[in-house]
Homo-oligomer: A and B are copies of this chain.
């Protein structure tokens, strides 16, 4: 195929710097015909576009080409237990439009995804883009997902979603590749891109209705063999004689249950409200939950040796006793080599981090060298 290798050339151009054909020949050692053919293929699918000419020292000025970040868009859908966010991003990952609402994930996939798709189509229209410009759709859900098929696998807090084929449902409305992942993995990607771009080893811990972690090691999101990496909610707590796992001991419903309420019906918001209004019992329970999360975090620090641990999720962000408890235990328990340069910080990405992470997942998979080659093969 004449345009083979176009995807690889495109990786160079993703830095956004305009280049002439001659500059690309020099930079890569490629034959001029290779450069010309590959740029033609990239231009045909809209990923590259001419942008003025170079200042030349003589003769006819040469045309320069540049990555066109505006040629396509992707959609990020971030679903939590009690909230949902939808965003439209360009190919640089910049969020063009976004919208969030309170929801109940237990309403089931048809109702929740229909809202998300209605919103996505409306935001897409608002940006003036067409459905055919969609590069892909990323979806984050609050539970374990088989990433290869996009199906939730026995998600504990998502009744009605077990085994549901999210990609097929979405593709009935929007024709584009659909990638699904655990929401915590996407939060890790989003938080890293926003605040820690130079960090290769980052652990994101979400503390909310459930507890889970997203793991970035060696610069890449690590999903493990079946996509369940980071499932710290099912880890038994170190150093404590208790059969329950972390989620049963320190999640928002677990704290609510300790506060003498009916765990099944108390929302995370109620727990946060009681802590904010200064209820000493609630504050003590949150601090103790933080310590329990700290014991599992200390194990993760020994096992993974991250340089940054981000504490996120509704409870993790809004209740300072949680991160205080985590810090107390981790710095007390872990060996100096693992903690000397370790930052434990609250998440700052807010509602946008999840949709930004969903978009980054789409861009990283759909703009890889081989994916761009595929895109060209399908289009040309």
Residues of A in contact with B (beta carbons under 8 Å apart): 4-5, 25, 28-32, 34, 38, 144, 146, 153-154, 200-201, 213, 215, 217-218, 220, 222-232, 234-243, 295-296, 298-300, 302-307, 333-338, 340-342
Given that A201-B225, A215-B303 are contacting pairs, would A239 and B231 also be in contact in the complex, using a CB cutoff of 8 Å?
A: no
Name the contact of A241 in the complex, choosing from B153, B215, B225, B241 (C-beta under 8 A).
Answer: B241
B228 touches A217 (CB 8 A): no
In the complex, how many angstroms separate the beta carbon of A129 from the nearest chain B beta carbon?
33
In the complex, how many angstroms separate the beta carbon of A316 from the nearest chain B beta carbon?
18
A-B contact pairs, 8 of them (CB 8 A): A30-B30, A30-B31, A201-B229, A215-B303, A217-B217, A229-B304, A231-B303, A235-B298
A298 touches B236 (CB 8 A): yes
* Residues in B whose Cβ lies below 8 Å from that of A338: 224, 226, 228, 231
In the complex, how many angstroms separate the beta carbon of A230 from the nearest chain B beta carbon?
7
In the complex, how many angstroms separate the beta carbon of A24 from the nearest chain B beta carbon?
12
Protomer copies: 2
* Residues in B whose Cβ lies below 8 Å from that of A336: 154
**Would you call the interface of chain A mostly helix, strand, loop, or mixed?**
loop
Given that A236-B299, A238-B238, A334-B234 are contacting pairs, would A225 and B341 also be in contact in the complex, using a CB cutoff of 8 Å?
A: yes
Closest B residue by C-beta to A34? B29
* Residues in B whose Cβ lies below 8 Å from that of A144: 335, 337
Bound together, the chains give a CA A38 to CA B231 distance in angstroms of 47
* Residues in B whose Cβ lies below 8 Å from that of A231: 302-303, 305, 335, 338
Bound together, the chains give a CA A29 to CA B33 distance in angstroms of 8
Bound together, the chains give a CA A304 to CA B305 distance in angstroms of 13
B218 touches A222 (CB 8 A): yes
A303 touches B300 (CB 8 A): yes
In the complex, how many angstroms separate the beta carbon of A118 from the nearest chain B beta carbon?
31
Bound together, the chains give a CA A232 to CA B342 distance in angstroms of 18
B337 touches A228 (CB 8 A): yes
Bound together, the chains give a CA A341 to CA B220 distance in angstroms of 23
Closest B residue by C-beta to A333? B236
Closest B residue by C-beta to A223? B305
Closest B residue by C-beta to A306? B225
Bound together, the chains give a CA A217 to CA B201 distance in angstroms of 12
In the complex, how many angstroms separate the beta carbon of A148 from the nearest chain B beta carbon?
12
Since A5-B29, A153-B337, A218-B220 are in contact, a sample of 19 more A-B pairs with Cβ atoms closer than 8 Å, ordered by chain A residue number, is: A29-B31, A29-B34, A154-B335, A154-B337, A201-B229, A215-B304, A217-B217, A217-B224, A218-B222, A224-B306, A224-B338, A225-B307, A225-B341, A228-B338, A230-B303, A236-B238, A236-B295, A240-B241, A299-B299
